[in-house]
A and B are shown apart, each in its own frame.
Chain A
């Protein structure tokens, strides 16, 4: 079959368009029977490229109208709808008899059951809905005609538990009905990894096309001074606005939802041209988000302030300008964001970077440089997580009885699980069966029944629970926010917990006054009062990528020479050189100084590793312990993406002692067991693995859905069953996600014998920014809780006595 006979080709010709070479190449490789990855920039016709072989095959083989032929999986629900729309254009124009439908958590139960009885020819879905589909008993029948599986935004699956879930289900589907796989991605560096993940097959072919036009990236010029610290673009607000009014349509990307809220409000305050500016972030109510998305497409909105909620996919094609406000954090991420502008392959995307402080200015320069040289980060990948496997096993058991050995072999065919050993598999299976406790279990309450060599589910009540809890993303406890008689979105419970009635805050661009919480709903009303708090939405901020960090270090090691700097940065850099110095590329710069705050004199030590917040946090805790071992009382530390600042009670003589690599790693394991962060991880694992159910039938109306305190479960498990599989999963997850063990060890190795100590009389320009960071970490939460409780107790008693 030649692509010339392809209906899509005819359609394009009729429109006066043509097929790109890479689309033809994908088509040819698919007709030869290969699995294919199409790596093309945004605007490169990936949707057409991915579906052309399907459409062609379906039309030419004259399949019956009820043949379920192609499965499309995307990480975003919105993308399934978008791609469906894009696909319906040629299908309707050509009068092709192909039925395309979406199936996500938004699909009604009625439509879902209709879809199974009479499947569409092409089905667009998400990994979670795919997992649910795979847990059906009739999958052999359902998938018997399946020819193609298309996976969009392939790179988002390498390093996530969602990716593990998807991979397990693909492996299972392959064992039931072989098919050809097509992966689509706009940002791929490690193409080998992509091939392995997609089909674990060496013969997989890659079709890659690089952007013919490199994006035009500039850093926003402002006459105002760039601040030394903080994350506010306020200094450049009028300059940002001037750019916004120059272009017909623009997206302003920020890094956190809090930044989005602030920027949105500030822009409206100066919006004298009445530009239609909107806000979009993941916490907003679905209806509000959809409305904004629709209005962008229709051209009613001229500017949208957005977080990563708009990073992926949706093909709008009419955005003229992308602004990145705040640090880019990673090269690939920046490219993805820039790609939102101009969805055609031959015109350059235009982007303006707006650093919010001096460090970010350097980071922006580094990112620009990396894009120019096409230096992208390697994608991260992760070993298949066993909590996801536990969930998968339940799904498999619901669908069909299985033999242990066969399932083990099948799971190992999912690339993330290729190294899974038999022992871990057995432990996971036994956990699913009856909790997997070493001394006593719940044998009589088992979830699985053994039938000779086979395992199957014991009772049907498990099916509902599985359906209600499927998925590999666990969000923080959220409350729905209700203002007058409508819902505005979801807000983190811990944030609401910190509010008292009458406190004001901003959400969805509105000034609100908190009233009360009833069940899982937080009530607030519109207010004109000022002094708002901003929900800071934990986890909105990614750490600096390893790659960018390296590039930033290089720029600093050259003392920012040879770069066109605004005056405020020149001053900043001069001050650093005058009173301290810049570190060489592989050096660690340590600065010490003292400062008087109030009556108290404090000693400070600033480190400048430029290794990203996560690494700094861990390093911070470890150094804190070391300082204690020297007999010095530390007060705490603050960390950002570039530096760490410690404060303590007296001068430290032996600074080298703090950094010895072996001892630090030893300390690390001790610390890991105690940190509250690991309990947060455990909660996620407990929910994904099905130890506790987040949702139970009839339970949605009560506020707290997780009825057990997972911190207590973690503690009791550690004490009574230290080798339990869930604890093993927690430690493995922690090594990777919490502390990024590899990055930390690499850092310690890099700086060995390369520590440069500057003892100063005052804070250097680099250290200065940290004096204003807010989130302080302290030696021991418990200790400090007690300290403050005692203070509180004293104050209250004094108040009572005064009555």
Chain B
């Protein structure tokens, strides 16, 4: 599997095409914004989106942890799309997910979609943020810590290639901050040109656009 290495806070991380951030030295996998059961959420408005997004996301995750040494998983928030997500999840998806929870040390830094009343009972460590080697992991960017790795924004970038534009999701980073894209199957995204993201990363930052098989690297031209 293709990946790209980045150095952040003097640590070596690897970026994978599906949106995994892998910290090999700590055998730690960091992913964000899985939004379980986003598809089925819309059945309430009578839009019957195919309910297969969670299983897709989980199969992808399972494959990654089978292929790489992983002891710790940090979910950077918005694990579920809404508080009833687990009730709608299929048995197969639940089995896959609970197997991961059982075998790995899993932490969820709670996001705005996460309903803790249920999530606290399933073997997840719940926390607002977690600090490892000076790096603060959380759903939202942490302003008062030196290094922050976070999700929430679902960053995507528009690339103009060969006179047409394509959108891809991406990682964004500068010396202090690292923004992780959404790992969920049906999740939309926010352009990194959006002010919310810009004000976190200006003036100088790097973008890692993801395609199905590969990770690329672009530097912001300023």
Whether A720 contacts B52 by the Cβ 8 Å rule is yes
Known A-B contacts A692-B49, A720-B52; the reply to A442 vs B40 at CB < 8 A is yes
Minimum Cβ distance to chain A for residue B57 (Å): 11
B166 at the interface (CB under 8 A from A): yes
Question: Given the complex of chains A and B, what is the CA–CA distance between A786 and B47 in angstroms?
Answer: 35
Known A-B contacts A442-B43, A712-B186, A721-B50; the reply to A785 vs B165 at CB < 8 A is no
Contact code string B153-178 (vs A, CB < 8 Å = 1, else 0): 00000111111111000000000000
Interface-forming stretch among B74-82, B112-120, B137-145, B206-214? B206-214
Known A-B contacts A713-B50, A800-B219; the reply to A784 vs B43 at CB < 8 A is no
Question: Given the complex of chains A and B, what is the CA–CA distance between A713 and B49 in angstroms?
Answer: 8
Residues of A within 8 A of B123 (CB): none
Residues of B within 8 A of A465 (CB): 45-46
Whether B52 contacts A789 by the Cβ 8 Å rule is no
A476 at the interface (CB under 8 A from B): no
B98 at the interface (CB under 8 A from A): no
Question: Given the complex of chains A and B, what is the CA–CA distance between A789 and B217 in angstroms?
Answer: 9
Chain A residue, CB-CB nearest to B164: A498
Contact code string B33-55 (vs A, CB < 8 Å = 1, else 0): 00000001001111111111101
| Residues of B contacting A: mostly | loop
Whether B219 contacts A447 by the Cβ 8 Å rule is no
Of the residues A434, A494, A498, A789, contact of B211 by C-beta under 8 Å: A789
Minimum Cβ distance to chain B for residue A796 (Å): 5
Question: Given the complex of chains A and B, what is the CA–CA distance between A431 and B50 in angstroms?
Answer: 11
Known A-B contacts A498-B164, A716-B50; the reply to A796 vs B218 at CB < 8 A is yes
Chain A residues numbered 699-724 whose CB sits less than 8 Å from any CB in chain B = 707-709, 712-713, 716-717, 719-721, 724
A61 at the interface (CB under 8 A from B): no
B95 at the interface (CB under 8 A from A): no
Residues of A within 8 A of B166 (CB): 785
Minimum Cβ distance to chain A for residue B199 (Å): 18
Question: Given the complex of chains A and B, what is the CA–CA distance between A285 and B101 in angstroms?
Answer: 56
B183 at the interface (CB under 8 A from A): no
Chain A residue, CB-CB nearest to B219: A800
Minimum Cβ distance to chain B for residue A708 (Å): 6
Residues of A within 8 A of B165 (CB): 494, 497-498
A63 at the interface (CB under 8 A from B): no
Known A-B contacts A716-B56, A785-B166, A799-B221; the reply to A437 vs B161 at CB < 8 A is no
Chain B residues numbered 66-97 whose CB sits less than 8 Å from any CB in chain A = 90
Contact code string A622-666 (vs B, CB < 8 Å = 1, else 0): 000000000000000000000000000000000000000000000
Residues of A within 8 A of B159 (CB): 789, 792
Chain B residue, CB-CB nearest to A793: B216
Residues of B within 8 A of A436 (CB): 48
Known A-B contacts A716-B50, A721-B52, A782-B211; the reply to A793 vs B44 at CB < 8 A is no
Question: Given the complex of chains A and B, what is the CA–CA distance between A793 and B217 in angstroms?
Answer: 6
B13 at the interface (CB under 8 A from A): no
Minimum Cβ distance to chain A for residue B29 (Å): 23
Whether A716 contacts B43 by the Cβ 8 Å rule is no
How many B residues have CB within 8 A of the partner chain? 37
Chain A residues numbered 408-456 whose CB sits less than 8 Å from any CB in chain B = 431, 434-437, 440-442, 445, 447
Whether A692 contacts B216 by the Cβ 8 Å rule is no
Of the residues A441, A696, A724, A785, contact of B161 by C-beta under 8 Å: A785
Whether B161 contacts A719 by the Cβ 8 Å rule is no
Chain B residue, CB-CB nearest to A799: B221
A691 at the interface (CB under 8 A from B): yes
Contact code string A784-803 (vs B, CB < 8 Å = 1, else 0): 11101110110011011000
Of the residues B48, B209, B211, B217, contact of A442 by C-beta under 8 Å: B48
Known A-B contacts A461-B46, A709-B186, A792-B161; the reply to A716 vs B53 at CB < 8 A is yes
Known A-B contacts A498-B163, A721-B52, A796-B221; the reply to A692 vs B47 at CB < 8 A is yes
Residues of B within 8 A of A193 (CB): none
Minimum Cβ distance to chain B for residue A393 (Å): 13
Question: Given the complex of chains A and B, what is the CA–CA distance between A498 and B221 in angstroms?
Answer: 19
Residues of B within 8 A of A696 (CB): 45
Question: Given the complex of chains A and B, what is the CA–CA distance between A720 and B90 in angstroms?
Answer: 13
Whether A435 contacts B43 by the Cβ 8 Å rule is yes
A345 at the interface (CB under 8 A from B): no
Known A-B contacts A784-B162, A796-B218; the reply to A717 vs B50 at CB < 8 A is yes
Chain A residues numbered 667-708 whose CB sits less than 8 Å from any CB in chain B = 690-693, 696, 707-708
Known A-B contacts A721-B52, A789-B211; the reply to A693 vs B47 at CB < 8 A is yes
Whether B46 contacts A447 by the Cβ 8 Å rule is yes
Question: Given the complex of chains A and B, what is the CA–CA distance between A166 and B163 in angstroms?
Answer: 41
Contact code string A493-523 (vs B, CB < 8 Å = 1, else 0): 0100110000000000000000000000000
A78 at the interface (CB under 8 A from B): no
A171 at the interface (CB under 8 A from B): no
Of the residues B46, B185, B217, contact of A716 by C-beta under 8 Å: B185
Whether A786 contacts B50 by the Cβ 8 Å rule is no
Max count, chain B CB within 10 A of own CB: residue among A712, A721, A724, A797: A712
Of the residues B43, B90, B186, B216, contact of A708 by C-beta under 8 Å: B186
Chain A residue, CB-CB nearest to B56: A716
Residues of A within 8 A of B161 (CB): 785, 788-789, 792
A751 at the interface (CB under 8 A from B): no
Chain B residue, CB-CB nearest to A461: B46
Whether A785 contacts B50 by the Cβ 8 Å rule is no
Chain A residue, CB-CB nearest to B51: A440
Chain B residues numbered 90-141 whose CB sits less than 8 Å from any CB in chain A = 90
Question: Given the complex of chains A and B, what is the CA–CA distance between A719 and B50 in angstroms?
Answer: 11
Question: Given the complex of chains A and B, what is the CA–CA distance between A692 and B46 in angstroms?
Answer: 9
A462 at the interface (CB under 8 A from B): yes
Whether A720 contacts B50 by the Cβ 8 Å rule is yes
Chain B residue, CB-CB nearest to A707: B188
Whether A782 contacts B221 by the Cβ 8 Å rule is no
Chain A residue, CB-CB nearest to B91: A440
Chain B residue, CB-CB nearest to A784: B162
Whether B43 contacts A445 by the Cβ 8 Å rule is yes
Chain B residues numbered 4-53 whose CB sits less than 8 Å from any CB in chain A = 40, 43-53
Chain A residue, CB-CB nearest to B55: A720
Minimum Cβ distance to chain B for residue A777 (Å): 12
Whether A782 contacts B212 by the Cβ 8 Å rule is yes
Residues of A within 8 A of B188 (CB): 707, 709
Pull 24 A–B residue pairs with CB atoms less than 8 Å apart, ordered by A. A435-B50, A435-B51, A437-B50, A437-B51, A445-B48, A461-B45, A497-B158, A498-B165, A692-B49, A709-B186, A716-B50, A717-B52, A719-B52, A721-B50, A784-B162, A785-B211, A786-B211, A789-B161, A789-B214, A789-B216, A792-B161, A796-B219, A799-B221, A800-B219
List 15 other contacts, CB 8 Å, given A719-B52, A789-B209, A797-B219: A434-B48, A435-B43, A440-B51, A442-B43, A462-B46, A498-B163, A690-B47, A693-B45, A707-B188, A713-B50, A716-B52, A717-B50, A792-B159, A793-B216, A796-B221
Chain B residues near A (Cβ < 8 Å)? 40, 43-53, 55-56, 90, 158-166, 185-186, 188, 209, 211-214, 216-219, 221
Chain A residues near B (Cβ < 8 Å)? 431, 434-437, 440-442, 445, 447, 461-462, 465, 494, 497-498, 690-693, 696, 707-709, 712-713, 716-717, 719-721, 724, 782, 784-786, 788-790, 792-793, 796-797, 799-800
Report the 8 A-B pairs with minimum CB-CB distance, sorted nearest first: A435-B48, A445-B43, A788-B161, A720-B52, A442-B43, A800-B219, A497-B165, A716-B52
